[in-house]
Amino acid sequence: MTSGKKNIIFLTGFSYSGKSVVGRAVASHLSWAFVDIDDEIVKAAGKDIPQIFEQDGEPRFRKFERDVLEQICHRQKLVVATGGGIIVNPDNRKLMAKSGAVVCLETTPETIYQRLLQQNDNEPDAVRPLLTADDPLQRIKSLKASRQQYYDTADYMVRTDKLSIDEVCVEVVKGYEWTVAGFACMVETASRSYPVFVGWDILAELGMRMRQVGLDGKACIVSDRIVSSHYGVQVKESLEEAGFTVCSVDLPPGEESKTIDNAIKIYDFLLEHHVERGDVIVALGGGVIGDLAGFVAATFLRGVPVVQVPTSLVAMVDASIGGKTAVNHPKGKNLIGSFYQPSLVFTDVKILHTLSGRELTSGWAEVIKHAMILDPALLDFLKKHTKALISLDEEATVEVIKWNVGLKAGVVSEDEREQGRRIILNYGHTIAHGLEAATGYKRFLHGEAVAIGMMGAAVLSQKLGILSEKVVWRQRDVISAFGLPTNCSVVSKDIVVAMMEWDKKVKGGGVRWVLLQDVGHTVVWSD
């Protein structure tokens, strides 16, 4: 077990999502105790829940709910069915997250409504507050939507509509086991759903996790020579222990390796080793290897599975999530590529200790980017824990990487192919890609260019009158605190602008800028 979590499973979800019946099934399967928080509230109050609401009001009910939650969090080997609204209170969410694994049973409003009608037919005398609304289904949709952001904070989510009780039980147990073993989140796209694991010193578990997601056969490790010298043997041993036949190919490190010529070298290697469509490519490296190996996986035999094992901070928090694969062209970065989701992302944060200081510093740019465009609370965390993160404190670093993975996964799950909201993840990248291309991908690390690009985008936002100077300085301060550059005056602006015109975000001949209105609020500006 990790992160001090106890043997408690909290089931959250909207009313009639099946928390009680599933909770009893899970408890029976694990030979644990089962507690329904609503039942405990009724015992403590000496009256049923509708009476509590009617006679004492909702605040009194929420006080009972909190007291019961605090009591059961001291126990072990327990499955807990929570009330539908318990997660609205941030203190409750923090307590559950600290005390156990939180699994959400996700159900559509239509399914909830049908279950409600069915139970009403079976128990006509019972009180069903949701059915007293003029439009019960609309009321369910509205109330569920207001809580969805809190349900989404669960460690693991099970979509129950088309599953039997036994099938939901199996998924809940899997979610619990994954959560205590480093599970961070599920990325759920139209083309594929896959888990992301984040932990400290977990590299030896890679082969086992690959087996758990249904991979087998031959595993071809694609890496660079530096990363392979550190971790190639350990990864090979993990895969062989899990029953994989292993082969490996190493490339020179650096952005210069992300070319179509090197993709062809990997194709030749795969053909030489008779890699088949059912085998798997393991991308062991930073963003360059992840992009290149992912591109090869997407195109070889029209697609073979790929596992991302990121070894740089940039790759851990950003590049490994979301299925963007590509090689560079002399005219610009990532111009030849495809969207191709991995089968698994497996991140051992301890690996960051072998990065050079400059490479590690570069990675914080993507973390800062996520904070600026998506989450003010993350920005506050970065400011508060700067020293701990720079020194790779285990607890703080694992937490912030999981946090970033969740943010990126949420955007990717909503917009897999960058046809809508996903474009906001390009904040700072328009100038960054221009800088990288203008300098032949040799002068700047990606994160360094992104940091400069973010400052350019923020200043542009201010000049357009949509962002306050205060936020510009706030961004500048956090970028500087992590040792990243905020400006560049030694590269020809004209060359950078010319390279920007080849950027993938150009549409109708005009650059689409991702700009800021405030921390957590972006706008796409095409002008």
Catalytic residues: 302, 324, 366, 408, 418, 422, 426, 429, 433, 446
For residue 16, give the nearest of 135, 109, 89, 148 by alpha carbon. Answer: 109
| Cα 515–chain centre separation | 23
The stretches of 216-356 forming alpha helices (DSSP H) are: 225-241, 260-272, 287-299, 313-314
SS3 331: coil
Name the one residue in this structure whose structure tokens are 């279950």. 115
Spell out the residues 6+ positions from residue 374 whose beta carbon is closer than 8 angstroms to its own: 407, 411, 424, 520
Q: Which amino acid is at 487?
A: N
**Would you give the DSSP letter of residue 16?**
T
In the chain, the largest separation of any two C-alpha atoms, in whole Å, equals 78
State the DSSP code for 131. G
Q: Which amino acid is at 454?
A: M
Angle at the Cα of 203 (from 200 to 208), degrees rounded to 5? 120
Helix (H) or strand (E) holding 208: helix 206-212
Phi, then psi, of 193 in degrees rounded to 5: -110, 140
Give me the amino acid identity at 41.
Answer: I
Beta strand residue intervals within 18-169, DSSP E: 33-36, 78-81, 101-106, 156-159
Residue 250 phi/psi, 5° resolution?
-115, 145
Q: How many other C-beta atoms can be found within 10 angstroms of the C-beta atom of residue 366?
A: 26
Can you tell me which residue has the tokens 């039980």?
A: 169
